[in-house]
Amino acid sequence: MKDIVLTGDRPTGPLHIGHYVGSLKKRVEIQEEYDKPFIMIADTQALTDNAHNPKKVSENVYEVAFDYLAVGLKPELNTFFIQSLVPELAEFTVFYMNFVTLARLKRNPTVKDEMQQKGFGYNVPVGFLNYPISQVADITAFKANLVPVGDDQLPMLEQTNEVVRHINNHFNTAVLRECKPLLSKVLRLPGTDGLSKMGKSMNNAIFLNDEPDVISAKVMSMYTDPNHIRVEDPGNVEINTVFKYLDAFDPEQEELKELKEHYKRGGLGDVKLKKRLNNILQNTLEPIRQRRKEYEENPEEVMKLLKTGSEYARSVAAKTLKELKEVFTLNY
Nearer to its own copies, 226 or 328 (CB): 328
In angstroms, give the least distance from the CB of 172 to its own copies.
Answer: 12
Nearer to its own copies, 98 or 201 (CB): 98
Please classify residue 269 by burial: count the beta carbons closer than 10 Å to its beta carbon, then call 0-12 exposed, 13-18 middle and 19+ buried: middle
* Residue ranges in contact with its own copies by CB under 8 A: 43-44, 47-49, 51-52, 54-55, 57-59, 61, 82, 84-85, 87-88, 90-91, 93-95, 97-103, 105-106, 122-130, 133-134, 170, 303, 306-307, 325, 328-330, 332
Nearer to its own copies, 98 or 253 (CB): 98
H/E stretch holding 157: helix 154-170
Beta bridge partners of 232: none
In angstroms, give the least distance from the CB of 253 to its own copies.
Answer: 43
Nearest C-alpha neighbor of 43 from the set 118, 120, 127, 161: 127
Nearer to its own copies, 60 or 278 (CB): 60
In angstroms, give the least distance from the CB of 37 to its own copies.
Answer: 21
Question: How many whole angstroms separate alpha carbon 121 and alpha carbon 199?
Answer: 23
**Any idea how long the chain is?**
332
In angstroms, give the least distance from the CB of 139 to its own copies.
Answer: 16
In angstroms, give the least distance from the CB of 169 to its own copies.
Answer: 11
What single letter denotes the amino acid at residue 19?
H
Nearer to its own copies, 66 or 95 (CB): 95
H/E stretch holding 210: none
In angstroms, give the least distance from the CB of 5 to its own copies.
Answer: 24
Question: How many whole angstroms separate alpha carbon 323 and alpha carbon 71?
Answer: 36
Nearest C-alpha neighbor of 144 from the set 95, 110, 108, 181: 181
DSSP state of 189: P
Nearer to its own copies, 130 or 241 (CB): 130
In angstroms, give the least distance from the CB of 267 to its own copies.
Answer: 56
Nearer to its own copies, 281 or 306 (CB): 306
Question: How many whole angstroms separate alpha carbon 146 and alpha carbon 274?
Answer: 38
Nearest C-alpha neighbor of 44 from the set 109, 89, 105: 89
Beta bridge partners of 38: 6, 79
